[in-house]
Amino acid sequence: MSEMPTGANSPRDDVALDVSAATASAPEPATGRRRSRLRLNSSMIIGACLVVLILGLALVSFVWTPYGPSEIDPVARLRAGSPAHPFGTDRFGRDTLTWVMYGARITLMVGVVAVGIALLIGTPIGIVSAIFAKQPWGMWIDAVIMRANDILLAFPALLLAIIFAAVYSPGTGPAMVAVGIAAIPGFARVARSGTLQVLGSEYVRAARASNRRIPAIAVVHVLPNIAGMVIVQASVAFAISVLAEAGLSFLGLGTQAPVPSWGRMLQESQQFLSTHPELALWPGLFIALAVLGFNLLGDGLRDRFDPKMDARGA
Amino acid sequence: MKTPRIMTWVAGAAAVSLLLTACSAGASDSGEDAKKDSMTIAFTAEPVNLDFTSTSGVAIPEALMENVYESLVRLDGEGEIQPALAKDWSLSDDRTTYTFELQEGVKFSNGADLTSEDVKYSYERVQKDWKNALKSKMDIVKSIETPDDDTVNIELKKPSNTWLFNLTSLVGAVFDTEGTKDLANEAIGTGPFEIEKFTRGQSIDFAARDDYWGDKPALNSVQFKYFKDAVSASNALKSGEIDLVSNLQAPELADEYQSDDYQIVSGTTNGEVVLSMNNAKGIFKDKKAREAVMHAIDRKAVLDTAWAGYGELIGSMVPPTDPYYEDLTGVWKYDPKKAKELVDEAGIKGEEFSFTVPNLPYAKAISEIVSAQLEEVGLKAKVTTQEFPAVWLDKTFTEHDFDMSVINHAEPRDILTVFSKDYYIGYDDAKIKKIAEKADTGTEEEYISGMKEIAKTITDDAASDFLFLFPNLVIAKADIEGVPANRVSDAFKIADLSWK
Amino acid sequence: MPENLLEVRNLTITPAGAEVPVLDDVSLSLAPGERVGLIGESGSGKSLTALSVMGLLPEELHAQGTVSLQGHGGNLLEANEKTLAGLRSDIVSMVFQEPMSALNPLMRIGDQIAEVLRIHGRVPRAQIPGRVRELLAEVHMPDPDSARFAYPHQMSGGQRQRVMLAIALANSPRLLICDEPTTALDVTVQRRMLDLIAERVAAVEAGLLFITHDLAVVAGVCDRVIVMYRGRIVETGTVTEIFTAPRHEYTRGLLASSDLEATDDRGRLFTLKTALDYAGPRVPTRDSSTDANRATDANRAADGQGGAASATGSAPLIEVSDVTRVFKGRGLFGRRRSDVTALGSIDFSVAAGERLGIVGESGSGKSTLLNILSGLDRPTTGHVRVGDIRVEAASSTALRALRENLQIVFQDPFASLDPRMRVADIIAEPLVAAGVDKDERSARVEEMIAAVDLDAQSLRRYPHQFSGGQRQRISIARALVTRPQILVADEPVSALDVSVRAQVLNLLADLLEDYALTLLFVSHDLGVVKHLCSQVIVMKDGQIVESGATEDIYANPQEGYTRRLIAATPSLADALAATG
Amino acid sequence: MLTYAANRAIQFALSLIVASVVVFALMSLLPGNAAQVALGTNATPEAVAALEVQYGLDRPPVVRYFDWVVGMLGGDFGTSYVTGAAITPVIIDSVQVTAILVISAIALSILIAVPLGTFAALEQRSWIGVTISAASQVGIAVPNFLAAIILVIVFSLTLGWFPSQGWMAPIEGVGGFLLRLVLPVVSLALVQAAILTRYVRSAVLDVMREDFIRTARAKGLTRTKALFVHGLRNAAIPVITVAGVQLATLLVGAVIIEQIFVLPGIGSELVRAVANRDLIAVQGIVMVLVLLVLIINLIVDILVPVVDPRIRNAA
């Protein structure tokens, strides 16, 4: 069995030549590997910091904001940054910094709820579909689920958003749900391919040989092992959901006045872009930070969970 | 690691090919100097089809009236009735029968001659086949005779001051007896232009008719281009692809055109932006609550922040271009202290009411500042945006399921319709019903004094808060002449436009 | 130009962030045409040495020292990728261990061979197709013309390794490096591959650096041997010197644990620890009988305590009669494909306490048989009785009972443990499935972890923190935690290093005695089966070609296939005899 | 191959039927109807009722559904009662516009993502690699409508290289057509390229760990050449699937860009039809979208075996 040519962290085999008795020595303390694991995970740290920043912004806004969100000061309309208004003011004279803090709440909520819906519905569907695919008679159930997935993919998220907005009056709620539902196929596909891979592994064969039932195997073996892939999908889905909400407000469907959200700020700053670009700059910057944060956090968590990473360590 | 040679080659090729197409194509497109006799005009509301007999809304008459279709009479810039297809007209002594003399040698765009028969056919059709509710303006017509090809006698059930004015609107459009088979897609009229191409949702191309009866228009090809997004329209004007923006829906952009390359024309329209309150049921049934709102709103601030100050303050449902206009802005002064007292008296402090807002640019902007001002006096508005037109028409307009809303009533002289009992505002019009009846049948003077009294009554009842008159904000290239300042009638007359 | 073919001086590799170097001051040299074996176990640094010569070290590793090659001046370690690329497969070539993934799956075999010729331009373009057919013929590829257009996935492991050899030797390099080229192959295929390497290397008069962990294999191919341990060279010498008079204790330990035929007085294999009493491989006298009785000592000792031998006539624990298993052809996307007969009428029985070896190469139907015996699959015809459960007719609850009574230890230590579960949960899983309550479970788990000689703290760790041998012990602990009657071992040691193999086999022998288990031992390695099992069945293409007591089969095999199998199994004694 | 094709055909038909029922049901959920919209603020209940009869909205839903389906089978998506024009030609024109826009956007994003992603994977350790993957992370965060506006301001208003909006069919003038295509395609492609770069980078990283790359280097290819000759084709498979999904979502996702650049695409047609409650048109458009996505999925399923012989032999 030739060892893995990866240097630092190849384990010392239990060739206990000189010292210890027949029992193998305790596993070699993997100093080499722990430090490399930390370096590998700088993306998780940066990501976590960014997410904490955004979260902090949102939480602080519950307690304190420089001005009230609907506090207008028509005289100080469209001012650039000043000590009174560090980020300047919008067309109604409202403080942009306050709006960024309030907007953090909505944008986080949109991202988290939309991804939550897609994750909690899409992943189980993917797992169930993969489990059926493995059963002899289950093939066509898997096909039905996957085709339904395609149809949902084919259904424009926009149409769902319009219908929900029409039935329940436009607002953050319907937009979130529509964006969430539109993201379900992505998760189902990732979960299904991950589950198929895990079900084919020898440790699942060992589990079935020791009488574990399929549902138990799904929870104990499948979920932890596909967690890495699902997390990456979640971080990408977060980015897409936040932007979709911004896009929807472009069509008048996302968060409605007077509720502040970064998407709406972006959209409403559109006509001031050539005269007051900072109105678009601040929400755009914070959306980028939030998305970057979640993506890096996703990558970091994925490395932490990814068996390939661990296998490399073995 | 040196940069891989193969990779830079691929990226370089992609960039070069992109640039090549740009430069070569660029040259052929920008050189359009020989366009002195054509013009491209940007609009926002796009016509769904060409048939205003069964589809309402501003877009269709804006394109067709006085360009393709003409009525017997028309309104000039100051709102005076002028001759059009009718050379001259006279009114019988009992003021019930009008006799119109038609212009000679008028041809429809399909070549047919205009005869009194066409007028009779068109106006009887309004009563019989039209779906558009504006047809009610023809209900007063008792009978139409055509003694000869050039004269038409129209007898009314009773004298009416408003009827001749109504004839200047789309209700008075004259169709060819053979020209109403496919109105949705084909418009055959007597006007100076005919429709060359109608690409739905995109644009309408007009071509000047050389067999037009009146004086030939300066331009011989005009394109109306429809922009759903106001900023794109403005960008198109800046980059020179269009020549005129008919009504800029993003007034904040207007001050970018304060230069001698462009001209900014800000006139009036018939659109009153009304902060309507449900007078029939809910929190605003009580007049005191409505009065509180009237004092709570600083209309100047609303105009400045929501629509960048373009537009006029009006105190009532009457635009300045109407004969019976009276400046009632002083009736309800902005007085937050008084408003707070009224709120306490009415006992509605902190009580939440539904403020339904159509998702239109002006409405959303107004809702933000109005809800903030109301909050300052203790009135709690729960803003729910509704998709316009479908959901707002269904929930607010038809089911009257609202306490407060905001909409621009764009139809000319619509004070009586908007404040009739079964209209969505639910105003108790018992007081004004008799006055209106008398005014319409009375003399010119009686008509004007009656309408003034009606407007005053409505304003005093605080039925709704008239925020401002929607501006006719036209941005055009400097060297364009004949840009209409005020939009008095349904029409956007392109015959007046020309290049210097 | 050093007169030696290959000169490696003070080669050291210390990965970033680690104190201990993985390669510590390694120096070796190779004369033109000389054949040297590089012996060592996982983690010994043998592969890293080869990769340093080829300049194929992974990016994060940097080697110090000098490597010089005849035909190229300067230190290869400092050469840039372009110069190194020019040397590879021109002056020095390499064949790797895993044939299944070594070829580009999307490219035809012919094109992949032609590429190596085109790169170095030793053969004019027009003659390349002809040269490719010639190369395939030289490596005895059946029907070279159709092989040229085949894709890698249409070939067996053995055939793909031949293609790799053809590619490596295409430009008649001066030095061929082989890194465990036959470890992943079946025994008979391994034998043919070793002969082919020797033949082709001689034909192009190239030097050979042969890396392996199996002493018996290297003895047959090389003149001189270098032994590496923990990144250092501990001993070099001719094959005979190393085999008969190993100087370094690690070499002696390696020699002892590789010899499956030598056992200590308790009938256990020699391990690194007990290597001192190892008297060295016994040179077999012409008379083959001595082999027979030597083999029986190990079994008799094992059988002795093992309880009732089959002879006492109680009903056999497992009875398999006339079992066939046919898989209906169901290609991907539901396309019909011809049926596959995995098992064709199998008959055998196993008495309680007995140790049955099942020998056969890949594709012989071993694992299908295992699946049926363990209740994971049902036979198409015939019937199988395990204890009092008839598998082909058993209800699902009966099958669950069967599975509690019969546990499996799998082959690949890295894949058979869930990387995401702690060791304690892995071992406890069968108990959870059987519904045993919590504290009973933890008691049994602690008992088992001790039984497999692992310390209690390992219970809280994750599989990736253990070596291959330790993981296999965890797998065994998991198998025995429910006190099964029957233990099925599916190639449990074939993925382990030689020294570790001896320890695991000894552990298995102890546990079989302590827990009075019946053993079904599947392996393609006759040597291991001979040591551990009393009865053996030899399988080929779904049929049992031969069965009986191990020593009878071993002493005088009736079937030609068994004879070839025994001959192909490398054994220290035979190898020494050949060189002696 | 027959059963595979038949199998896919059945799934295709089934999906279309299910989709038609779903879209029809969803449409009935929408409050407000075409007649109300048409008559606007000066509608009277009688006029609305009369128009509903004219539009045939008064027929029971089941009848309307089968009329519509029967028509559709005959290739006729019915006449829109709001605009009075046949829907099929409108859909065909708008689909062409969106197809040109979206396919060139995806092509451009592949053209950007493959070299960038490969380079980021190759240079994983160096700062260039890190900047590219960081840039792709940020790139994902830029909404396409913001990119569009900035591009218009820079390239159209200040530099004047490209027109800021409008659509010109290729037949009317190839130069004008291409010119008007550049800005919308670039603004669509930016975000998609950022997402695709991440997938390409991880696919290339996986491929680089494969044994046959090491064999290729052992054969005498440098690291980069080995990757380009052997690696990229293997990395293509995950990229094709992702690009397929992106293409499917962009069909309607491009509506905002269509509105900013005033392009008569299928997305804007859908938004207009829903706003006018022109349900026949909405149903027609959604059915075409479902058809397109199913076709895209089919193409991806056909493309993959073309690239990977292992699947081709099994199919």
User: Given this model, what pLDDT does residue B17 score?
Assistant: 52
- Which residue among D7, D233, D311 sits closest to C334, beta carbon to beta carbon? D7
User: Given this model, what pLDDT does residue C332 score?
Assistant: 47
B85: left (phi over 0), alpha (psi -120 to 50) or beta: alpha
Comparing C473 with C263, which gets the higher pLDDT? C473
User: Given this model, what pLDDT does residue A33 score?
Assistant: 40
- Which residue among C88, C151, C333 sits closest to D219, beta carbon to beta carbon? C88
Do residues A160 and A152 make contact, with C-beta atoms less than 8 angstroms apart? no
Chains contacting chain C through 3 or more C-beta pairs under 8 A: A, D
- Which residue among A8, A209, A305 sits closest to C408, beta carbon to beta carbon? A209
Chain B residue whose CA is closest to D39: B56
Give the pLDDT band of residue A116 (cuts 50, 70, 90).
very high
Backbone angles phi, psi at B25, to 5 degrees: -70, -35
Assigned CATH class of C6-245: alpha beta
Tens-place pLDDT, residues C517-569: 899 998 888 888 888 888 999 888 888 888 888 888 888 888 888 888 888 87
- Cross-strand bridge partners of residue C536: C357, C548
Pairing between strand C486-490 and C518-523?
parallel
Tens-place pLDDT, residues C165-220: 999 988 889 999 999 888 878 888 888 888 888 888 888 889 999 998 888 888 88
Q: B198-207, B301-310, C139-148, D48-57: which has the minimum mean pLDDT?
A: D48-57
ipTM: 0.78
User: Given this model, what pLDDT does residue C497 score?
Assistant: 82
User: Given this model, what pLDDT does residue B24 score?
Assistant: 46
Domain boundaries, chain C: 6-245, 292-330+351-579
| A residues 206-235 lying closer than 8 A (beta carbon) to C | 206-213, 216, 220-221, 224-225
- Contact status of C62 with chain A (Cβ, < 8 Å): no
CATH number 1.10.3720.10 given to D90-271? yes
d(CA B162, CA B281): 32
- Contact status of A14 with chain C (Cβ, < 8 Å): yes
- Which residue among D41, D126, D156 sits closest to B397, beta carbon to beta carbon? D41
Do residues D287 and D18 make contact, with C-beta atoms less than 8 angstroms apart? no
**Per the confidence metrics, is the pTM higher than 0.90?**
no
- Which residue among A1, A8, A209 sits closest to C376, beta carbon to beta carbon? A209
Span C292-330+351-579: which CATH code? 3.40.50.300
d(CA C218, CA C37): 6
Q: What is the mean pLDDT of residues A23-27?
A: 34
User: Given this model, what pLDDT does residue D315 score?
Assistant: 44
Q: Do the chains contact at A15 and C403, CB–CB below 8 Å?
A: no
Chain A nearest C-alpha distance from D255 (Å): 9
- Contact status of C119 with chain D (Cβ, < 8 Å): yes
User: Given this model, what pLDDT does residue D216 score?
Assistant: 92
The two tokens of residue C541 are 């293409």
The beta-strand segments (E) located in C213-363 are 224-229, 232-238, 318-327, 340-350, 355-359
Chain C nearest C-alpha distance from A30 (Å): 8
Do residues C537 and C557 make contact, with C-beta atoms less than 8 angstroms apart? no
Which among A267-281, D89-103, D274-288 has the top mean pLDDT?
A: D89-103
Tens-place pLDDT, residues D60-112: 888 888 888 888 888 888 888 777 788 899 899 999 999 999 999 999 999 99
Report the sign of the C-alpha dihedral through residues A69, A74, A78, A80, in that order.
Answer: negative
Give the pLDDT band of residue A7 (cuts 50, 70, 90).
very low
Residue C281 has pLDDT above 70, yes or no: no
Give the pLDDT band of residue C256 (cuts 50, 70, 90).
confident
Residue A9 has pLDDT above 70, yes or no: no
Question: How confident is the prediction along chain B (500 residues), in pLDDT tens digits per residue?
Answer: 344 455 555 555 555 555 554 444 444 344 444 457 889 999 988 888 898 888 888 889 999 999 999 999 998 877 888 999 999 999 888 888 999 999 988 999 988 999 999 999 999 999 988 888 788 889 889 999 999 989 999 999 988 888 888 899 899 999 999 888 888 888 999 999 999 999 888 899 999 999 899 888 989 999 999 988 888 888 889 888 899 999 888 888 888 888 889 999 988 898 999 999 999 988 999 999 999 999 999 999 899 888 888 999 988 999 988 888 999 988 999 999 999 999 999 888 888 999 999 988 899 889 988 988 998 898 999 888 888 888 888 889 888 999 999 999 988 888 888 898 888 999 988 888 888 888 888 888 888 899 999 999 999 999 999 999 999 999 999 999 988 888 888 889 998 899 98
Residue A128 has pLDDT above 80, yes or no: yes
d(CA B298, CA B136): 37
- Which residue among A72, A162, A169 sits closest to B384, beta carbon to beta carbon? A169
CA angle, D24 then D27 then D31, to 5°: 155
Residue C114 has pLDDT above 70, yes or no: yes
**Residues of chain C with C-beta less than 8 angstroms from the C-beta of A39:** 17
User: Given this model, what pLDDT does residue A308 score?
Assistant: 47
Domain boundaries, chain D: 90-271
d(CA C139, CA C123): 19
Q: B104-113, C340-349, D284-293: which has the minimum mean pLDDT?
A: C340-349
User: Where do the domains of chain A lie, and which CATH numbers do they carry?
Assistant: 47-79+91-310 (1.10.3720.10)
Comparing A296 with B467, which gets the higher pLDDT? B467
d(CA D2, CA C172): 48
Q: Which of B359, B360, B401 to mutate to test the interface with A (most CBs of A within 10 A)?
A: B359
- Contact status of A163 with chain B (Cβ, < 8 Å): no
Is the fold of C6-245 the same as that of C292-330+351-579? yes
Comparing C228 with A77, which gets the higher pLDDT? C228
- Which residue among A266, A273, A296 sits closest to D143, beta carbon to beta carbon? A266
User: Given this model, what pLDDT does residue A18 score?
Assistant: 35
Give CA separation, B283 vs B354, B394, C250, C363, in Å. 10, 21, 96, 84
Q: Which of A4, A10, A12, A13 to mutate to test the interface with C (most CBs of C within 10 A)?
A: A13
Q: H/E/C letters for each residue in A247-287?
A: HHHHCCCCCCCCCCCHHHHHHHCHHHCCCCCHHHHHHHHHH
Q: What is the mean pLDDT of residues C2-16?
A: 85
- Contact status of D29 with chain B (Cβ, < 8 Å): no
Tens-place pLDDT, residues A29-64: 333 344 344 445 777 888 889 999 999 989 998 888
Chains contacting chain A through 3 or more C-beta pairs under 8 A: B, C, D
Q: What is the mean pLDDT of residues C482-493?
A: 88
- Contact status of A168 with chain B (Cβ, < 8 Å): no
Residue A284 has pLDDT above 60, yes or no: yes
Q: Do the chains contact at C81 and D223, CB–CB below 8 Å?
A: yes
Chain D residue whose CA is closest to C98: D211
Mean pLDDT of chain C: 83
Residue C455 has pLDDT above 80, yes or no: yes
User: Given this model, what pLDDT does residue B12 score?
Assistant: 58
Which among B468-477, C352-361, D204-213 has the top mean pLDDT?
A: B468-477
Give the pLDDT band of residue C575 (cuts 50, 70, 90).
confident
User: Given this model, what pLDDT does residue C295 score?
Assistant: 39
User: Given this model, what pLDDT does residue C443 score?
Assistant: 92
Q: Do the chains contact at A257 and B256, CB–CB below 8 Å?
A: no
Q: Which of A98, A164, A256 to mutate to test the interface with B (most CBs of B within 10 A)?
A: A256
Chain A nearest C-alpha distance from B307 (Å): 10
CA angle, B386 then B50 then B216, to 5°: 130
Please name the residue that has the structure tokens 């707070």: B340
